[in-house]
Each structure stands twice: as C-alpha cells, then as structure tokens.
C-alpha cells in the first residue's frame, strides 16, 4: 500500500459557525463523527464552482472494452482530458476489463484508435505505460486481494456464503411489500474465524462491504454538497432489518466495479474524477470505502446526462451516437470534440467554433447541472465551420478533403462524365476550386458531391427556368451576343481574375436602348441561367473558372439556341435591332484583347 495518499485529517466542508471558525483559527479542532463528515478530495479547499484547482490534476478515463465508444463516453474522456491539460496535470487511460463475459474482441484496440482520432492522447496507460501500471484491471487482481484483506481485518468487510436461492427469496419478500432490496447480514452472525475456515476450504462466497449507519456526504464540484447521509438500515419486518452491503469481490475472485474503481483511483493517485451524473448514487459508497481504508478520496465532478429531443436518455445502443458512426459519415474529429465539449459546458467566448488547443486553454468547471439536450443540428453547423477552417488553412488537411471528395465525385458521376467535364484539367485543381466557394457547405464528401451537380450535370435551360430567372425577353438578342463574347477568352487565360475583368467591360450597355443598372442585372441573370440553369451558386466569374472553357462554351451555345427559339416564338414586341452595334462592337471589344482568336 502506498502511504502518500493515506492518512491525515480529511477536511470538513460546508457551513461552519463563526465560533467554530474562531476555534479553528486558534488551532483547536472539534471532533466530528466520521459518518457525518463531508469530504473534499485532497485535503485542500474545494474551489468555487467553475474554478479550476490551483494544483495539477490527475484525471482518468476508464472505459470497459464492451463495445464502441459513444458520444457520452467521448465527452467524459474529453472533460477529464481538458481538466488535466488546463491544470498542466496528467490524463490517464485505464481499461476496466474484469467482466470477461461482456468483453468484445477488438473493442480495446478500437477504443485506442477512437481516442487518438479525437486527439485525446493519454499520458499514462496501455501502450504508453507509466509508473502506476498495469493499466488493465484484469492484471491488477493481487492488488484488490491485498486491500480486501485489510478491509476484512478491520471489520469493514465480511464474507457472505448465502446461496443465490436464499437471496432471491429475501428479495422476493421485499418486493411483495414494495420495499427496496437489501441483505440481512446473516453471515455476520458467525465468527470471522469460522468464515475464514470456510473460505480456506473453498466454499463459494462473496465479500461484502459493511455499510456505515450513515453514508458520508461529499462536495461535488458541479452540484455542491451531495449525498443523502440517511440511515442505511431498511426494515423488511419489524425483527428483520436489511442493509445495502454492496458486494466488493465476486465468487469468481474478481472485483466488482465499485471496489476496483476505488482501489485503482487510490493507487494511481487520481485527484479528480469527472463522470456522468448517473454515478452520483454510487459516490457515497465510494467515499465510504475510502473512509474505511483511511484513504483520501478524489474530488468528484458529475456532469449532466445527455438526452434526446424527447428528453429521453441518449442510449449507448443508438448507432447515431456511436463514434464509429460519426467517423463513417466523415465528421471531422475537431468538429465532434467541439460538439462534445459544448454538451454541458459553457464558455465566455462569442464564437462556439473551437479546436482542441483552444478548448485546452479555455476549459474550466463551468458545467451545468441540468440534463443536456443533444441537437445534431449543432454538430452539422460545427462541421461546416471546421471544414471552412481546413479549406482556408490548406496543407495536408485540405488535400485529404480533396481526396475524399474525388472518390465521392467519381462514384456519383462516373469516370467518363468527370473526364469529359474536366477537359484535360487536373481533377485536384478543379475540386479545390469548388471547395473554395464560400456559399457551398462541406458537411461530408458525399454531401458536397451532391452540391457539385450544378457543375457536373447539364443545366435545365427551358422557358420555365428562363421565366423563373426573371430575364427580360425583349433583351434576349443583345444578351446572347454578350454571353458569346464572354466565351472568347482562350483556355490558357480561363481564370476567375480574367473573367472578372471581361465581365466588368460588358456591364455597360453598348447603346442607349437600355439603362446601365437594368442591363447589368439582366446580363448576370442571363449568364446564371445559361451556365447553371438559374440556380444559386458562385459568382459568374468563379462559375466560369470551375466549369472550364469547354463546358462553359457548350452551355452558353446551348442556352443561346434555346433563347433564340423563345425569341422567335414570343408574341411580345421585339427590340429594334437596327443600328444596335452589339453584334459587331461586343465582339470587337473582346477580340481587341484576344487578337487572332474567334469563337
């Protein structure tokens, strides 16, 4: 047993009268019954709600390898990780694998992958090692046996040989009376020597904790003073009291969760435990176990439950909250970590979009007490914002997005259609240009590939879409000429910057038959109809760059033919074209810049 974490007075917290404070200041201490004490964890003052401890925190994440991590578990791991990083402490990983029947093959390795994918590297634990290993509970059985022997010797634990049939009958009787379950301590009636002799003979039994008359209370870093402190004896019959004497060691020699958890946290010098509020009911038992061994318990911070929009607890079996599901959908690790951090924790920043280093610098224990509703709309928002960050930053993260998008685009549109659209251009460059469009929202590669249908699929240029675009049909002829002039730019100069310059030159009408603002509006409406079927998208200059010269010319020519048919079929008066110099002057103006080239 390590002595560094033992002993000493455990600080009493809560309200203290002025006279008592005066006695304390004078160095006088009043004895307080152990069963009614409220424990802090480390013998230091508990910081006000929300404030970080003054000393480095040692925290841990202790999952069982019984399946994939889910949203609630990644949040627990994250809060423990952030508390350690924010205080320059240590974050430990411990595998609680004593329930062999529920262990899933490969789950432990997947757990490592998911944590590292999220960026939550542990300082001590499996794979990386550390001074307080081993870090798998199945490899720590001698330690639990050593401490249970001390508990048996002190009388805080006892061996129970009651067969399951007797316990079932006891529980049935309580159930019929509408009472909670418990144990009547029948096995405490014999001597400890007799119990040891039976255990030595190999009689099947468990080891129970002898619960105190009152559970100790504790100060939670989120909920404040907690624990009921009520008397533990519950009446079944007038002459048959029962007690909540928890089993610490099972008949197979393996510890229960409660016993292994307490022993490991003590031996690994854990100072702070952040876990779900569903464990608050067990915390008085854990603190009582620490007290019975004269150990100092860690500080506890219980975080709110995660519930769905119907305010039902988010199920671990819900695949939508499985980390593997998020990964398969293309969710970025920084988006998921950002999302998980905001589930119950509040900050003072104006912007919710935070990466892991920012969370490490901002984290405190400002955690809400109420249940937290999980809205995946928020995750989608964060995914889009973090995608924009990646795209703007460039580098390897952008290249990974481009690679994922390339696979999605080829799967959706086929190699032949994509190759024809590219017209000899590199797919990587075209996709990077699409990703740079601010109006496009990257949620996943497949979703973005769907948005790219504007470019990879021919536009619908029909009278209906023409009418929806709000184009003045009386200006079809000069608009056709202007659109053709745009296409005079050669492929070697087919860039957004060049098109911006050429479009600015065409924004002014070539004669006084239409005012400038109206002409500019009609020009861009017509080009959007011709290039994208009237759909919203990037600017016209950017659209031309993304489409490339081949696709742009084909679309403009096809749209001009449709527009000409509508012009002929229209019963509306046609614009007087005699004297209109658009046919000649428009082309001459462009050809002056691109001498020797014609459409």
The set of catalytic residues is: 316
Using a 10 angstrom Cβ sphere, with 0-12 exposed, 13-18 middle and 19 or more buried, the burial of residue 592 is exposed
Residue indicated by tokens 């020009």: 523
Residues 414 and 457: beta-carbon distance below 8 Å: no
CA–CA dist 316, 68 (Å, integer): 9
CA–CA dist 320, 306 (Å, integer): 13
CA–CA dist 366, 221 (Å, integer): 9
Residues 207 and 152: beta-carbon distance below 8 Å: yes
- Strands of the sheet containing 217-220, edge to edge, are 38-39, 217-220, 224-226
Q: What is the DSSP letter of 208?
A: E
Which is nearest to 559 in space by CA: 475, 470, 462, 467?
462
- SS3 string, 150-176, reads HHHHCCCEEEECCCHHHHHHHHHHHHH
CA–CA dist 569, 573 (Å, integer): 11
The vertex-196 CA angle with 191 and 199, nearest 5°, equals 130
CA–CA dist 297, 286 (Å, integer): 8
Burial code of 225-253, b = ≥16 C-beta within 10 A, e = fewer?
ebbebeebeeebeeeeebbbbbbbbeeee
Q: Concatenated DSSP letters for 117-161?
A: HTT---SBBTTTB-TT---BGGG-HHHHHHHHHHHHHTTSEEEE-
């Amino acid at each position: 047993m390590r002595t560094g974490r033992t002993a000493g007075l455990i600080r009493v917290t809560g309200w203290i009268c002025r006279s008592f404070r005066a006695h304390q200041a004078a160095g006088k201490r009043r004895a307080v019954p152990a069963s009614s004490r409220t424990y802090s964890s480390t013998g230091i003052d508990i910081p006000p709600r929300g404030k970080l401890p003054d000393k480095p925190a040692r925290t841990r994440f202790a999952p069982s390898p019984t399946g994939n991590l889910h949203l609630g578990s990644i949040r627990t791991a994250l809060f423990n990780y952030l508390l350690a990083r924010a205080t320059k402490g240590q974050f430990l990983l411990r595998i609680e694998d004593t329930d062999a029947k529920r262990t899933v093959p490969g789950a432990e390795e997947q757990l490592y992958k998911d944590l590292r994918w999220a960026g939550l590297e542990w300082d001590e634990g499996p794979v990386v090692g550390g001074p307080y290993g081993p870090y798998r509970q199945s490899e720590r059985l001698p330690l639990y046996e050593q401490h249970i022997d001390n508990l048996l010797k002190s009388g805080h634990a006892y061996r129970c040989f009651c067969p399951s049939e007797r316990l079932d009958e006891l529980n049935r009787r309580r159930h019929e009376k509408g009472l909670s379950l418990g144990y009547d301590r029948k096995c405490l009636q014999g001597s400890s020597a007799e119990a040891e002799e039976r255990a030595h003979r190999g009689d099947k039994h468990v080891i129970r904790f002898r619960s105190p008359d009152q559970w100790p209370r504790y100060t939670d870093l989120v909920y404040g003073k907690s624990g009921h402190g009520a008397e533990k004896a519950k009446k079944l019959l007038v002459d048959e009291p029962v007690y909540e004497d928890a089993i610490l060691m099972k008949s197979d020699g393996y510890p229960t969760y409660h016993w292994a958890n307490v022993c490991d946290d003590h031996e690994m010098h854990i100072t702070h435990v952040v876990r779900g509020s569903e464990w608050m009911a067990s915390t008085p038992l854990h603190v009582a176990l620490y007290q019975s061994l004269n150990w100092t318990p860690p500080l506890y911070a219980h975080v709110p439950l995660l519930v769905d929009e119907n305010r039902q607890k988010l199920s671990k079996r819900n695949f939508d909250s499985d980390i593997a599901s998020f990964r398969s959908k293309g969710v970025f690790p920084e988006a998921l970590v950002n999302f998980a951090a905001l589930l119950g924790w509040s900050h003072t920043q104006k912007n919710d979009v935070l990466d892991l280093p920012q969370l490490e610098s901002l984290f405190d224990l400002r955690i809400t007490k109420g249940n937290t509703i999980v809205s995946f709309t928020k995750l989608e928002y964060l995914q889009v914002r973090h995608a924009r960050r990646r795209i703007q930053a460039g580098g390897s993260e952008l290249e990974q997005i481009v690679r994922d998008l390339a696979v999605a685009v080829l799967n959706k549109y086929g190699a032949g259609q994509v190759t024809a659209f590219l017209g000899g251009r590199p797919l990587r460059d075209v996709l990077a240009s699409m990703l740079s469009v601010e109006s496009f929202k990257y949620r996943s590669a497949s979703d973005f590939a769907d948005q790219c249908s504007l470019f990879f699929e021919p536009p619908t240029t029909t009278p209906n879409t023409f009418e929806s675009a709000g184009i003045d049909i009386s200006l079809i002829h000069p608009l056709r000429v202007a659109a053709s002039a745009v296409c005079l730019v050669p492929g070697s100069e087919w860039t957004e910057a060049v098109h911006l310059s050429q479009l600015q030159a065409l924004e002014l009408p070539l004669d006084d038959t239409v005012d400038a603002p109206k002409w500019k509006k009609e020009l861009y409406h017509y080009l959007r109809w011709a290039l994208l079927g009237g759909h919203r998208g990037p600017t016209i200059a950017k659209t031309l760059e993304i489409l490339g010269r081949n696709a742009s010319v084909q679309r403009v020519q096809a749209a001009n033919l449709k527009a000409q048919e509508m012009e002929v079929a229209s019963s509306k008066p046609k614009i007087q074209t005699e004297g209109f110099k658009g046919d000649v002057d428009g082309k001459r103006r462009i050809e002056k810049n691109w001498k020797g080239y014609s459409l």
